[in-house]
Amino acid sequence: MAQILRQPRMIDYLRVKFLRFFLLAIATVLICLGLAAFQQERIEASDASETTIASTTWQHGSFPVENFQSYTSPFGYRISPIDGKRQFHNGLDMAAPLGSYVRNWWTGKVLEVSDGTVCGTSVKIQSGGWQHVYCHLDGHVETAANGRYLLDRSGGIQIWQGQELPVGARIGRVGMTGRTTGPHLHWTLRYNGSYVDPALVLKEMFKQQA
Ligand SMILES: [Zn+2]
């Protein structure tokens, strides 16, 4: 009799133990997947940097902003100055007085002009495998029958989507559009779709141009 009573208890015990083990296994797998995805993002960003930056000729690149004052926020993971949360900062922040001209870093074609997002009024330019984005510019985007363009009237800037731009061309002015706490250029670089730390490119550019 005692044995009959004990048996189901043993089975319940095993069942609970198995369930715990099963849940723990699922949690472990999920954590591993999360870490792998996180690691992948970092690897993608640094891979493109290391393999392509050193082997590229940067003699013809232009520094992207006039009256540059300082680098105010680096590329990478950081605590947001706005909401205090950990976030991936996909570009380099370069402080300059309001109204300073922003210059095209590399000869290319305007992929997109945009406004109304956290990036503010912005220009995205394609140069071969490289994509460069300039955020928080002055002005706004207008739509005409023959396309869209960024207009900064007092800065004398009109940049059309699809337009070819030479290196060093003035493409906008430092403004306060989008999510920003002070006047600066947020500059983002991607190579074949992966983010690259703009500071690494600038460093190599300075080295070669010195
Ligand atoms: Zn930024």
DSSP sequence for 81-96: TTT--EEEE-SEEEE-
Q: How far is the CA of 150 from the centre of ligand 1 (A)?
A: 20
Q: How far, in Å, CA of 91 to CA of 105, rounded?
A: 14
Domain with 86 in it: what CATH number?
A: 2.70.70.10
Tens digits of residue pLDDT in 116-148:
999 999 999 999 999 999 999 999 999 999 999
Which pLDDT score, from 0 to 100, does residue 10 have? 66
- What does pTM read for this prediction? 0.76
Q: How far is the CA of 30 from the centre of ligand 1 (A)?
A: 31
Q: How far is the CA of 128 from the centre of ligand 1 (A)?
A: 24
Instruction: Tell me the C-alpha to C-alpha distance, in Å, between residue 15 and each of 4, 21, 26, 28, 171.
Output: 17, 10, 16, 20, 67
Q: How far is the CA of 118 from the centre of ligand 1 (A)?
A: 10
- Inform me whether the pLDDT recorded for 44 exceeds 70: no
Q: How far is the CA of 16 from the centre of ligand 1 (A)?
A: 50
Q: How far is the CA of 76 from the centre of ligand 1 (A)?
A: 10
Q: How far is the CA of 126 from the centre of ligand 1 (A)?
A: 20
Q: How far, in Å, CA of 13 to CA of 133, rounded?
A: 60
Residue pointed to by tokens 């319940």 = 12
Q: How far is the CA of 73 from the centre of ligand 1 (A)?
A: 7
Tens digits of residue pLDDT in 15-25:
777 778 777 77
Diameter of the chain by CA atoms? Answer: 96
- The Cβ of residue 110 has, within 10 Å, a number of other Cβ atoms equal to 22
Q: How far is the CA of 79 from the centre of ligand 1 (A)?
A: 12
Give mean pLDDT, residues 32-59: 63
What lies within 8 Å, CB to CB, of 160 at 6+ separation is 110, 113, 147, 148, 149
Please give the backbone phi and psi of residue 15, each rounded to the nearest 5 degrees, phi first.
Answer: -65, -45
Q: How far is the CA of 186 from the centre of ligand 1 (A)?
A: 4
Full domain range(s) for residue 203: 70-209
Which pLDDT score, from 0 to 100, does residue 168 have? 97
Structure confidence at residue 47 as a pLDDT band (50, 70, 90): low
Q: How far is the CA of 86 from the centre of ligand 1 (A)?
A: 14
Q: Kindly state whether residue 38 falls inside one of the protein's structural domains.
A: no
What's the mean pLDDT when you consider all of the chain? 87
Q: Kindly state whether residue 96 falls inside one of the protein's structural domains.
A: yes
Which pLDDT score, from 0 to 100, does residue 20 have? 80
What lies within 8 Å, CB to CB, of 128 at 6+ separation is 108
Q: Kindly state whether residue 19 falls inside one of the protein's structural domains.
A: no
Instruction: Decide if 82 contacts 179 (C-beta within 8 A).
Output: yes
Q: How far is the CA of 34 from the centre of ligand 1 (A)?
A: 25
Based on the structure, what is the number of domains in the chain? 1
Q: What is the DSSP letter of 155?
A: G
Q: Kindly state whether residue 86 falls inside one of the protein's structural domains.
A: yes
Structure confidence at residue 64 as a pLDDT band (50, 70, 90): very high
Q: Kindly state whether residue 50 falls inside one of the protein's structural domains.
A: no
Report residue 196 as tokens. Answer: 């690259």
- Listed range (45-54, 88-97, 165-174) with the worst mean pLDDT: 45-54
Q: How far is the CA of 187 from the centre of ligand 1 (A)?
A: 7
3-state helix, strand, coil in the chain (%, to 5): 30, 35, 30
Q: Kindly state whether residue 60 falls inside one of the protein's structural domains.
A: no
> Per this entry, what is the length of the chain?
210
Q: How far is the CA of 8 from the centre of ligand 1 (A)?
A: 62
- Give the up-direction half-sphere exposure of residue 47: CA atoms within 13 A in the CB hemisphere: 9
Q: Kindly state whether residue 154 falls inside one of the protein's structural domains.
A: yes
Q: Kindly state whether residue 35 falls inside one of the protein's structural domains.
A: no
